[in-house]
Structure 1
């Protein structure tokens, strides 16, 4: 699903010319999530749906490790500064510590995300291994710094969990006022809804980050994007504002399952 989501987010349709450009050419345009899944399987086999999986697994493992490591460090420093008699951190403090940990984790793990994105958006003929793709990025116009493309967008995106948690608490008071303990299905429903709202709010940045980390579309004549704002302007120029929300279907589906299960487990 992550591969399909990335393919959908990187393609660019030109509203003026009615053409679609991707780094693999017009033939790679997908009209929907199902169309992307069926065509990738037809052209590359079922293994095509798992392109970049090694990088994704490394990315998930390293991101989780880095996040919890830096969260532990941040929380320990906060506890020491607050003193032994201080009350437990408030929700706002916990969210702030989580955001700080997320930002620090991004500094160390974003190179894996860049390489994985390159693998997932490359055609089958051009797709290389993890190390070879990293080398290709380094040999590009940005040099080693190319491995940190999309860092600013990633740092902004650390607000996604805060939006999710805030939306969850707000929806909880709306749908289940005064209820302190939710049933598993209730927690799953609210977790899924809150993640969907957070995804809708941050989807333009997610799309812009993918645009920064993948090869520039043919219309750019090989010129990389300079910032996520430039990616957004390009997408709006060629596809309109709706282009900033492409690939949102699989993005939300992924979030629904992960966040729903997380909140359901939390409420037990």
Structure 2
């Protein structure tokens, strides 16, 4: 049978393919990632014209003008490490859980019968379990990457009205050490609770993707198990857009928690055009949770305040996710070749 002519990827192989694809897709759109993080981290205290003009392109342009090309790639190394570890952990746990579920389901079927398509509920549940496990193991890197993207002030708030000239680009280990010194080890797990809630995001993304993919392949009636790169991009973009709209308020709250900029009262002292870097010492928000942040945003801006920066999030997420789904299948093909080659070497 055609579906059995090629070796099936192990959880390790699927995880590696997903992680490499994730790094590649995020690297392609990385300046967008920096800009959307700055927008999301902007405290709701900052009102008026500046906030209304924070389109992703205008923010990218101002970052380039004030900080140069390096500003658009702040925290690149930490973000790539975070992307690789998160994607690897997610794809590993997802492939492992999904494979175990399919094997268990296959044993209950009569011999020779065809495995039915998994329900959307089953795909979502498996995605949520995989996402929760991945979050627990990888969130410290995410916290450090977010702090590096947002930046940190030198401590002289009056030195530059825009806060840009006072930016310090700190190393991965320096940021990690400062977090531990100022907030304790638990500071590395800032945003874990909203992160666990947000496991429904990849769950929705991959659940919808697999469901739509199954429907598309069934409609073709040609026993194909793969979609074209272009179709994979479109289905991936649709899946990620839907997941982003549903979960965005918590995405915004998580970024503010990790950046320690959530509704900071001190933010009103700065008059910069860019979302400002913060000193990480922010006692006002030290114990702010996602619900507290969303309540304050609701009181100050209403429902629309929950979706500050969503356009930037969707643009970045759709492009990144579409590239991820396209490259993941290519990396899977390469992973199969590597596995076959490795098997021959050890034979």
Q: Which residue of 2 aligns with 1:206?
A: 251
Q: Which residue of 2 aligns with 1:191?
A: 236
SS in 2 for 1:12: coil
Q: Which residue of 1 aligns with 2:145?
A: 116
Question: Which ranges of structure 2 fall in alignment gaps of 5 or more residues?
Answer: 1-31, 110-114, 153-165, 267-281, 331-347
- Structure 1 segment 1-268 matched on structure 2, within 5 A: 1-14=32-45, 18=48, 31-75=54-98, 78=101, 82=104, 85-87=107-109, 90-91=118-119, 92-123=121-152, 125-140=167-182, 142-168=183-209, 178-179=219-220, 184-216=229-261, 217-219=263-265, 222-223=283-284, 224-263=286-325
Cα distance in 2, alignment partners of residues 166 and 189 from structure 1: 15
Cα distance in 2, alignment partners of residues 52 and 108 from structure 1: 20
Cα distance in 1, alignment partners of residues 71 and 230 from structure 2: 34
Alpha-carbon shift at residue 209 of structure 1 (Å) = 0.3
Question: Which ranges of structure 1 fall in alignment gaps of 5 or more residues?
Answer: 22-28
Cα distance in 2, alignment partners of residues 204 and 107 from structure 1: 21
Cα distance in 2, alignment partners of residues 69 and 183 from structure 1: 24
Cα distance in 1, alignment partners of residues 88 and 254 from structure 2: 22
Alpha-carbon shift at residue 231 of structure 1 (Å) = 1.2
Cα distance in 1, alignment partners of residues 99 and 206 from structure 2: 22
TM-score (norm 2): 0.63
User: Which of 1 and 2 has greater Rg?
Assistant: 2
Cα distance in 2, alignment partners of residues 73 and 190 from structure 1: 23
Alpha-carbon shift at residue 178 of structure 1 (Å) = 4.3
* Greater RCO (Cα-Cα under 8 Å, separation 6 or more): 2
Alpha-carbon shift at residue 131 of structure 1 (Å) = 0.8
Q: Superposition RMSD on alpha carbons, in Å?
A: 3.5
Alpha-carbon shift at residue 238 of structure 1 (Å) = 2.9
Cα distance in 2, alignment partners of residues 110 and 192 from structure 1: 25
On the 8 A contact 1:150/1:209 being kept in 2, the answer is yes
Alpha-carbon shift at residue 71 of structure 1 (Å) = 3.5
After superposing the two structures, state which structure 1 stretch, 216-225 or 118-127, moved more.
216-225
For residues 163 and 74 of structure 1, do their structure 2 counterparts lie closer, same or farther at Cα, with a shift above 3 Å needed? closer
Alpha-carbon shift at residue 222 of structure 1 (Å) = 3.1
After superposing the two structures, state which structure 1 stretch, 220-229 or 47-56, moved more.
220-229
For residues 120 and 266 of structure 1, do their structure 2 counterparts lie closer, same or farther at Cα, with a shift above 3 Å needed? closer
SS in 2 for 1:203: helix
Q: Deviations along 1:99-154, whole A, 9 cap, x unmatched?
A: 212111111100011111111112462331111111111122x3111111111111
For residues 170 and 108 of structure 1, do their structure 2 counterparts lie closer, same or farther at Cα, with a shift above 3 Å needed? closer
